[in-house]
Amino acid sequence: EHTSPLFASIRDVVRFIKGSISDADTVATALEGQEAVVHLAAETGTGQSMYEITRYVDVNVGGTAVLLQRIANHPTTVRKVVVASSRAVYGEGKYIDSEGNEVYPRTRSAEDLRAGLFEPRCEKTGAPLSAQATDERSRLDPSSVYGITKLNQEQMVLTVCGAIGIGAAALRYQNVYGPGQSLRNPYTGILSIFSTRILNGKPINVFEDGRESRDFVYIDDVIEATHRALFRPTSSGHAIGIGSGVATDVLTVARSLVALYGREVPIEVTGAFRVGDIRHNYADLALARRLLEFSPSVSFEQGLATFAEWVKRQEVSEDGYDRSISEMAAKGLFRQ
């Protein structure tokens, strides 16, 4: 914790307990006298979860069980629990076909990806599908162990808390970014990966054709949504999508970061792919607006500029990207 920007920012503001969500004694201590719980503790690497299966299930599902076990079986002052879920619970998310029908495509096959057929296609006609904003009624079809554990977490929290009369909400965060995120962990998202590679003078490797897209939501907006979910009774009993509502493709992200850092590094669109990766997903915010009166206030351009300025002030060490790719390749999950 001595090198963590997050720890430095909270050290003199809150009570800090170093421990594991999987440890019952630590959880019991943390819950003493608390009226609300924001449960963020989790392992977060989508690709890594496909071979570190026991660890992801033990921490994400088992740790949530430890938390709920304590709340359910001991006198408690807790009145509200908000758990961090993820857009990963949807897998690919919602699409429409050429006739306007709602479609939920299967996970793309390695054969199609190897052939450069990156866009999900209609099973009947073979025509490309059109990505749509994914709402909370969309099919839940996680394509990774991580996504499965996040779905387990939200179901456990909503079910147990609902049964014992404690308010609970699950927030399905899209790709959260901003100052304070780890620049050392290659499993925490492409903004960190791309930033460390640019500042180390290394080329950026963009998977597929670079047109795969994600919904990047700035940390301040996520904090605002979480605060609203915590204090608004209307959130209880619901899983709610939280994002920017805008899809941004990965090639745009790479080019924007290169420009912001003012470094000339190659952007290599490789055609390589990770088995199980989704192509597109972005949030439909209608439910968040209705239940939380939440709308994001930070555009991707504004947020990315602020993030880049923060990164410039950090000590950027050697990135772990190559190691993470080697690990996934050894497991058959990364292919070229």
pLDDT digits (tens, 9 = 90+) for 177-214: 999 998 888 877 899 999 999 999 999 999 999 999 99
274-318 tens-digit pLDDT: 998 999 999 999 999 999 999 999 999 999 999 999 999 998 877
Q: Which pLDDT belongs to residue 316?
A: 81
Cβ pair 129, 105 in contact under 8 A = yes
> How confident is the model over 98-138, as pLDDT tens digits?
999 999 999 999 999 999 999 999 998 999 999 999 999 99
Indicate the burial class of 5 (C-beta count within 10 angstroms; 0-12, 13-18, 19 or more): middle
Query: Do the beta carbons of residue 173 and residue 217 sit within 8 Å?
Result: yes
Residue of higher predicted confidence among 280 and 4:
280
Distance, CA of 147 to CA of 88 (rounded, Å) = 5
Q: Which of 56, 90, 95, 146 is catalytic?
A: 146
Q: Where are the alpha helices (DSSP H) in 202-320?
A: 219-231, 250-261, 286-292, 300-312
218 a catalytic residue: no
Dig out the tokens for 141 from the structure: 């079809």
Question: How much is the pTM?
Answer: 0.96
Domain 11-335: CATH class, spelled out: alpha beta
Mean pLDDT of 79-83: 99
Give, in order, the Cα–Cα distances in Å from 195 to each of 201, 254, 282, 311, 313: 10, 9, 23, 8, 12
pLDDT at residue 186, as a whole number = 82
Lowest mean pLDDT segment, chosen from 15-19, 81-85, 129-133: 15-19
Take residue 40 and report the two structure tokens written for it: 């963020």
Q: What is the pLDDT of residue 2?
A: 60
Closest Cα to residue 172, out of 121, 228, 226?
226
